[in-house]
Protein backbone atom coordinates (compact mmCIF):
# COMPACT_ATOMS: atom_id res chain seq x y z
CA UNK A 1 0.00 0.00 0.00
CA UNK A 2 1.46 3.34 -1.00
CA UNK A 3 1.73 6.31 1.27
CA UNK A 4 -0.78 8.24 -0.86
CA UNK A 5 -3.35 5.44 -0.55
CA UNK A 6 -2.83 5.30 3.22
CA UNK A 7 -3.28 9.05 3.49
CA UNK A 8 -6.45 8.94 1.38
CA UNK A 9 -7.91 6.16 3.53
CA UNK A 10 -7.06 8.04 6.71
CA UNK A 11 -8.57 11.23 5.33
CA UNK A 12 -11.77 9.42 4.32
CA UNK A 13 -12.03 7.85 7.78
CA UNK A 14 -11.49 11.19 9.54
CA UNK A 15 -13.97 12.93 7.25
CA UNK A 16 -16.62 10.35 8.09
CA UNK A 17 -15.92 10.72 11.82
CA UNK A 18 -16.19 14.51 11.64
CA UNK A 19 -19.53 14.24 9.82
CA UNK A 20 -20.85 11.76 12.40
CA UNK A 21 -19.73 13.98 15.28
CA UNK A 22 -21.30 17.00 13.61
CA UNK A 23 -24.61 15.13 13.44
CA UNK A 24 -24.34 14.23 17.13
CA UNK A 25 -23.62 17.84 18.07
CA UNK A 26 -26.55 19.08 16.00
CA UNK A 27 -28.90 16.62 17.74
CA UNK A 28 -27.55 17.59 21.16
CA UNK A 29 -27.97 21.29 20.37
CA UNK A 30 -31.59 20.73 19.39
CA UNK A 31 -32.20 18.70 22.56
CA UNK A 32 -30.60 21.35 24.77
CA UNK A 33 -32.72 24.06 23.15
CA UNK A 34 -35.87 21.96 23.66
CA UNK A 35 -35.03 21.27 27.30
CA UNK A 36 -34.20 24.92 27.92
CA UNK A 37 -37.61 25.95 26.58
CA UNK A 38 -39.28 23.38 28.84
CA UNK A 39 -37.42 24.60 31.93
CA UNK A 40 -38.34 28.20 31.12
CA UNK A 41 -41.97 27.15 30.67
CA UNK A 42 -41.95 25.31 34.01
CA UNK A 43 -40.37 28.27 35.78
CA UNK A 44 -43.02 30.57 34.31
CA UNK A 45 -45.82 28.23 35.37
CA UNK A 46 -44.42 27.97 38.87
CA UNK A 47 -44.09 31.75 39.13
CA UNK A 48 -47.72 32.15 38.00
CA UNK A 49 -48.83 29.49 40.47
CA UNK A 50 -46.99 31.23 43.31
CA UNK A 51 -48.61 34.52 42.36
CA UNK A 52 -52.07 32.91 42.18
CA UNK A 53 -51.84 31.47 45.70
CA UNK A 54 -51.05 34.84 47.15
CA UNK A 55 -47.29 35.03 47.05
CA UNK A 56 -45.95 38.52 46.66
CA UNK A 57 -42.74 37.65 44.83
CA UNK A 58 -42.45 34.61 42.57
CA UNK A 59 -40.26 31.95 44.15
CA UNK A 60 -37.71 32.13 41.32
CA UNK A 61 -37.15 35.84 42.07
CA UNK A 62 -36.71 35.53 45.83
CA UNK A 63 -33.28 35.76 47.39
CA UNK A 64 -32.07 32.59 49.14
CA UNK A 65 -32.44 32.58 52.96
CA UNK A 66 -28.69 32.99 53.53
CA UNK A 67 -28.63 36.47 51.87
In this predicted model, what pLDDT tens digit does every residue of 6-45 receive, in sequence order?
A: 999 999 999 999 999 999 999 999 999 999 999 999 999 9
Q: Give me the helices (H) in 1-67, please.
A: 3-52
- What's the CA gap between 41 and 50, in Å, rounded? 14
pTM of the model: 0.64
Amino acid sequence: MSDVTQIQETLAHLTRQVEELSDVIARQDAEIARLTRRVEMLLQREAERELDIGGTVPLADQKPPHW
